[in-house]
A and B are shown apart, each in its own frame.
Chain A
Amino acid sequence: MPEIDADTRYLMPGGNDLNSISGKLIVLLILTFVSGCFGFGKNQDYQSLDAGKLEKLVKGQTTAAEVSALFGTPAQVVKMSNGNAYIYTHSVAKGTAVWLLLVSLVNYDKQYDQIIFFFDNNDILTHYGASFDARDSSYGLPF
């Protein structure tokens, strides 16, 4: 192997010298040979909830049957101390997996849209609470 003058720098097109290019080539070569690098997944539970339908509800007047007609079958019904609560939910979960040679990184993020309607003992809507966070579910790394 002929001796190379380390101080001599040859510029390649674009202005990069050979030393920096060889460093990038090393990284590229390693990354090329790493198999199964990335994985993404997305799961959804139940149908999405339409926030606009909440405007059609009138507290003290709307009945449980009318709510069911608007939003469909609730995911859960809970007996409360002074009536019932209908729970409507929609979730979005996003998973990310990265394999880097000997290290694997996995991240899972699940967020919910949820509306809870409270009815009195006569099945009249007394109040409701709504949260819409399913869109905030995201891909990422576990740090």
Chain B
Amino acid sequence: MDYRFNFFLKIWHAIFKVLVVSMPILIAGRLLGGCVTYQVGRSLEGTDVVAPGDELQVGKTTLEDTLALLGAPTTLVELEGQDLLLYQKTVMRQKRLSVGLPLLDALGTSISFSASGNRVNYDTLALFFTPDGILRQVVFEKGTSQPYKKPTSD
């Protein structure tokens, strides 16, 4: 009998502990939900762009070789007698913090603060070809590896 009583006592203690710990969190969440929001977002477009290697040689590599090696480019442009093939991957990162006090809406006024930031980085491989389809210039930049927050010089 004592064993059963102690067992139910332990269960009641566990339930009580759950309520004591979780209720403040739930109440805070319910009161602040929609008032305080921190949003983290990311948008990816395109596959990885590989850095150019020995297989891309200016003056030798042809347009056909390049297409066989890298597949279809993201963008295609004709620039004053040159053909530009652009391989690109885009990564956008977004962070947003908003704080509001909707309880004040009943008084006809409200206070809200929000701060947000976006950063878009690109991995880009630009290949310029002559009208004869011979590689003329290679430009590569890997921007997606840069951190969301990067010190600027200005």
Contacts and interface: CB of A to CB of B under 8 A. Distances in A.
Contacts of A69: none
The 10 A-B pairs with the shortest beta carbon distances in the complex, nearest first, are A129-B67, A142-B42, A131-B71, A106-B41, A81-B131, A114-B72, A129-B72, A22-B14, A108-B43, A127-B64
B77 to A, nearest CB: 7
B10 A101 contact: no
Interface residues of A, number: 48
Interface of B is mostly: mixed
B41 A81 contact: no
Which of A34, A109, A116, A142 gathers the greatest number of chain B CB atoms within 10 Å?
A142
A81 B46 contact: no
Nearest to B21: A26
A25 interface: yes
Interface stretch (B32-40, B102-110, B115-123, B138-146): B32-40
Contacts of B13: 4, 18
Contacts of B39: 103-106
B145 to A, nearest CB: 15
B41 A34 contact: no
Contacts of B14: 18-19, 21-22, 25
A116 B32 CA distance: 52
B38 A102 contact: yes
